[in-house]
């Protein structure tokens, strides 16, 4: 695969210039970066526009986490409205059971731009924008609960939990649907809907053949059922400006846990920071403590409870 510079080709430049809409220009002026996800002659293409010159390696790790394979790529630069715009066009192929992006094009664009703008993490979970049509906030919810589940059970890892959700995108999508149905204040008659979603989730998990994935997905489902409150619907820009808070009734998770456990746990998640508060009673003392035990800070905090 070669990197083709097309600055000298007027025909190519004019063709690319026509694709740079007012929306792209506005986004570049506001954030310095913009993206397009489109189909041309049966080929899926991703175009990334930036005000900074980039190399192939700058974007490849991001695109790979979407599950794309790169067929070819070329770059160019041009000037519009006194802006020097650097463009990179990627010709990609979808992997797995996904043949095209017809049903997920907007979600892929939103997640890609969110990662490029440093609002979302660059993680393999972003492939769920392709396979499950999830947007950045929905993937963020899954990432937060994955991080909590990783702390809850020592034998599970973030990579293993992510892998299970990626392997079963329809279950991942149902998990997100359950969260929104349970906590979105706009939803009425939520109990009936939650019962139906839970039934669908349990039915799909029963079809999982791998015992490790089965446990991961069942624990994830139990965490969702144990959630009693969240600030997700009352804050703007969760995960990168404001932290997400999840209040968990740990008594509903004791089947998975050993030893003394708190009654209530408040888990806080941000792209750059995570933390938890444990309490055994309705009222408990509080405080802040920095932990350098990245793998088991929950156990450290529990020992102080």
pLDDT digits (tens, 9 = 90+) for 162-220: 999 999 999 999 999 999 999 999 998 899 999 999 999 999 999 999 999 999 999 99
* Integer Cα distance of 160 and 213 in angstroms: 8
pLDDT at 286: 67
pLDDT-wise least confident of 11-20, 59-68, 91-100, 204-213: 11-20
Work out the mean pLDDT of the chain and round it to a whole number: 90
**Identity of the highest mean pLDDT range in 31-40, 85-94, 156-165, 186-195:** 156-165
Q: Which of 1-5, 112-116, 139-143 has the lowest mean pLDDT?
A: 1-5
Q: Among the listed ranges 137-141, 264-268, 277-281, which one has the minimum average pLDDT value?
A: 277-281
5 — pLDDT class (breaks 50, 70, 90): very low
Provide the whole-model pTM.
0.91
């Amino acid at each position: 695969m070669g990197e083709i510079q097309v600055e000298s080709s007027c025909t190519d430049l004019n063709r690319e210039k026509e694709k740079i809409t007012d929306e792209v220009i506005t986004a570049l002026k506001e954030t310095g970066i913009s993206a397009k996800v489109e189909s041309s002659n049966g080929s899926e293409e991703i175009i990334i526009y930036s005000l900074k010159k980039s190399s192939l390696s700058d974007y490849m790790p991001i695109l790979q986490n979407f599950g794309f394979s790169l067929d070819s790529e070329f770059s160019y630069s041009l000037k519009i409205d006194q802006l020097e715009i650097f463009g990179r066009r990627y010709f990609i192929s979808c992997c797995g059971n996904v043949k095209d992006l017809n049903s997920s094009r907007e979600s892929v664009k939103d997640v890609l731009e969110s990662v490029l703008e440093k609002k979302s993490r660059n993680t393999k979970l972003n492939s769920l924008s392709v396979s499950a049509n999830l947007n950045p906030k929905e993937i963020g919810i899954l990432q937060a609960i994955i991080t909590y589940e990783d702390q809850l059970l020592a034998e599970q890892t973030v990579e293993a939990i992510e892998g299970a959700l990626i392997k079963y995108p329809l279950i991942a999508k149902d998990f997100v649907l359950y969260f929104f149905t349970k906590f979105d204040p706009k939803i009425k008659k939520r109990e009936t809907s939650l019962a139906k979603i839970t039934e669908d989730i349990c039915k799909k998990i029963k079809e999982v053949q791998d015992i490790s994935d089965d446990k991961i997905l069942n624990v994830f489902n139990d965490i969702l059922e144990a959630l009693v409150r969240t600030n997700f619907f009352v804050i703007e820009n969760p995960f990168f400006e404001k932290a997400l808070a999840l209040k968990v009734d740990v008594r509903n998770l004791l089947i998975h846990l050993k030893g003394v456990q708190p009654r209530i746990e408040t888990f806080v998640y941000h792209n750059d920071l995570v933390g938890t508060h444990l309490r055994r009673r309705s009222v408990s003392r509080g405080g802040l403590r920095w932990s350098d035990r990245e793998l088991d800070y929950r156990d450290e905090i529990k020992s102080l409870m």
